[in-house]
Amino acid sequence: MQVFKVQGMSCGHCVRAITQAIQDRDPAAEVQVDLAEGEVRVASPLPSEELLEAIFDEGYAVSLA
């Protein structure tokens, strides 16, 4: 499980956008979003760099937790 800190998430749309961006790259990825903590947890064989890029491309500031 990879954990990322994401800034700017505030609603269900954010959750869907990030989940979709990750699953576009890995349809089998398990994505858990915690809005209160500003964290996204991803179970995927994709490298962290690719997951960071997917979230960043949606317009969010993101880093490894």
What's the confidence (pLDDT) of residue 1? Answer: 94
Q: Mind listing the pLDDT tens digit for each residue in 6-23?
A: 999 999 999 999 999 999
In the chain, the domains with their CATH numbers are 2-64 (3.30.70.100)
Q: Mind listing the pLDDT tens digit for each residue in 51-65?
A: 999 999 999 999 999
Please report the DSSP string for 9-64 in residue order: --SHHHHHHHHHHHHHH-TT-EEEEETTTTEEEEE-SS-HHHHHHHHHTTT-EEEE
Distance CA 36, CA 51 (A): 20
Residues 6+ apart with CB under 8 A from 48: 2, 64
What's the confidence (pLDDT) of residue 23? Answer: 98
What's the confidence (pLDDT) of residue 8? Answer: 94
What's the confidence (pLDDT) of residue 25? Answer: 98
Spatial CA neighbour of 3 closest among 62, 59, 60, 53: 62
